[in-house]
Amino acid sequence: MTQTVIVIIYLALLLTLGYLSGRMFRGNSNDYFVASRSIGPTVLFMSIFGTTMTAFAMVGSTAESFRVGIGTYGKIASSSALIHSACFFLVGLPLWALGKRNGFHTQIEFFRARFESSKLGYLLFPILVGLIIPYLLVGLMGAGSVMQGVTRGAFPEFFPSTGGAVPPWLTCLVISGVVLYYIFAGGVRSAAWANTFQTLVFIIMGFIAFVTISAKLGGLQAASSMADPSKAVRAGNMTEMQFLSYCLIPLSVGMFPHLFQNCLTAKSAKSFRLTLVGHPLAIMLTWIPCILIGFWATGAVMPDGVTPVIPEGTSPNAVLGMMVGKLATPVIGGLVTAGIMAAIMSSLDSQFVAVGTMFTKDIVVHSYGPERFSESQLVLLARGFICAIVLVTYLLTLVEPRQVFSLGIWCFSGFAGLFPLIFAAIYWKKATKLGAYAAVIGGAASWLLMFQASGYGKNSSFMVAGVMPVAIVFATCAICMIAGSLLSQPPRQETLDKFFRKRVKV
Amino acid sequence: MSRALVVAIFLVLLVLHQDFWLRDNASLVLEIVPIGLAYHMSFTVLAALFWLAVVRLAWPYSHEDEDDQGGEQ
Q: Do B45 and A281 touch (CB under 8 A)?
A: yes
Task: Give chain A's largest Cα–Cα span.
Answer: 75
Dihedral (CA of A401, A233, B14, A206) sign: positive
**Other beta carbons within 10 Å of A503:** 12
- Domain residue spans of chain A: 2-404
The chain A residue lying nearest B42, using CA atoms, is A78
Tell me the mean pLDDT in the region A249-260: 90
How far lies A188's CA from each of A16, A131, A196, in Å?
Answer: 16, 20, 12
Contacts of A82 in chain B (CB under 8 A): 10, 13-14, 17, 43, 47, 50
B53 near A CB under 8 A: no
Confidence (pLDDT) at A374: 83
pLDDT tens digits, one per residue of A145-167: 878 877 878 788 888 888 888 88
Identity of the amino acid at A262: N
**pTM of the complete model beyond 0.90:** no
Instruction: Please name the member of B33, B50, B66 whose beta carbon is closest to the beta carbon of A268.
Output: B66
Measure CB to CB from residue A233 to each of B25, B30, B66 and give the nearest one: B25
Residues B8, B58: Cα–Cα separation, whole Å: 13
Q: How confident is the model at residue B70 (pLDDT cuts 50, 70, 90)?
A: very low
Q: Is A221 on the interface with B (CB under 8 A)?
A: yes
pLDDT at B73: 27
Average pLDDT over residues A34-44: 71
Of A367, A433, A408, A480, nearest in space to A76 by CA: A408
ipTM over 0.85: yes
Give tens-digit pLDDT for A370-407: 788 887 888 888 888 888 988 888 888 777 666 666 77
- B24 contact residues in A (CB cutoff 8 A): 233-236
pLDDT for residue A400:
61
> Based on the number of CB atoms within 10 Å of its own CB, is A492 exposed (0-12), middle (13-18) or buried (19 or more)?
exposed
- Min Cα–Cα distance to chain B from A402, Å: 27
Over 70: is that where the pLDDT of B47 sits?
yes
pLDDT per position as a tens digit, A339-370 = 788 778 877 888 888 888 888 888 988 888 87
**Three-class SS state of A358:** helix
Whether residue B45 lies within 8 A of chain A, CB to CB, comes out as yes
Q: Looking at residue A151, what DSSP letter applies?
A: T
Rg (CA), chain A: 22
CA distances from B41 to A60, A84, A285, A389 (A): 19, 16, 10, 38
Question: Contact, A142 vs A130, CB < 8 A?
Answer: no
pLDDT by residue (tens digit) across A257-305? 888 877 887 888 888 899 999 999 999 998 999 999 999 999 988 888 8
Beta strand pairing call for B33-34 and B28-29: antiparallel
**Type of residue at A162:** T
Which residue in the set B13, B48, B61 is minimally distant from A281, CB to CB?
A: B48
pLDDT of residue A348: 83
pLDDT confidence band for B51 (50 / 70 / 90): very high
A283 and chain B in contact, CB less than 8 A: yes
Q: A103 CA to chain B: closest CA distance, Å? A: 9
Q: Regarding predicted confidence, which is higher, A321 or A65? A: A65
Q: Which of B17, B28, B51 is opposite residue A280, by nearest beta carbon? A: B51
Strand partners, A464: A467
Minimum CA–CA partner of A502 in chain B: B61
Residue A368's Cβ-count burial label (10 Å; 0-12, 13-18, 19+) is exposed
**B10 vs A295: CB contact, 8 Å cut-off?**
no
Check CB contact of A506 with chain B, cutoff 8 Å. yes
Evaluate the CA torsion angle A373, A377, A379, A382 in order and state its sign.
Answer: negative
B51 touches chain A (CB under 8 A): yes
Per-chain mean pLDDT for chain A: 85
CA distance A178 to B12: 45
Q: With a cut of 90, say whether residue A419 has pLDDT above it.
A: yes
Q: How far is B46 from chain A (nearest CA, A)?
A: 9
Among candidates B18, B50, B55 on the partner chain, residue whose Cβ is nearest the Cβ of A244: B18
pLDDT over threshold 50, residue A34: yes
Neighbours of A23 (CB within 10 A): 8
Which residues of B are less than 8 Å from A283 in CB distance?
A: 44
Choosing among A82, A243, A244, A296, which should be mutated to test the B contact, i.e. which has the most B CBs within 10 A? A82
Average pLDDT, chain B: 85
CA distance B17 to B46: 11
**Could you say which of B13, B23, B44 has the minimum Cβ distance to residue A233?**
B23
Three-class SS of A52-79: HCCHHHHHHHHHHHHHHCCHHHHHHHHH
Task: Give the residue with greater pLDDT, A403 vs A336.
Answer: A336
State phi, psi for A458 to the nearest 5 degrees.
-70, -40
Give the bridge partners for A308, in sequence order: A301
pLDDT digits (tens, 9 = 90+) for B53-62: 999 998 887 7
Query: For A96-107, how does the pLDDT look when each residue is reduced to its tens digit (9 = 90+)?
Result: 888 888 888 888
Q: Which residue of A has its CA nearest to B20?
A: A240
Residue A479, pLDDT score: 97
What is the reported pLDDT for A440? 96
pLDDT attached to residue A339: 79
Contact between A74 and B55 using a beta-carbon 8 Å cutoff:
no
Q: Which 3 state secondary structure label does DSSP give A182?
A: helix
Could you read off the pLDDT of A433-473 as tens digits, one per residue? 999 999 999 999 999 999 999 888 778 778 888 888 999 99
Partner residue facing A38 (CB), from B26, B48, B70? B70
Average pLDDT on A167-183 reads: 86
Q: Which residues sit opposite B29 in a β-bridge?
A: B33
Does domain A2-404 bear CATH number 3.40.630.10? no
Chain A, 318 to 347: residues with Cβ < 8 Å from chain B are none
Q: Quick: pLDDT tens for A225-244.
A: 999 999 999 998 998 988 99
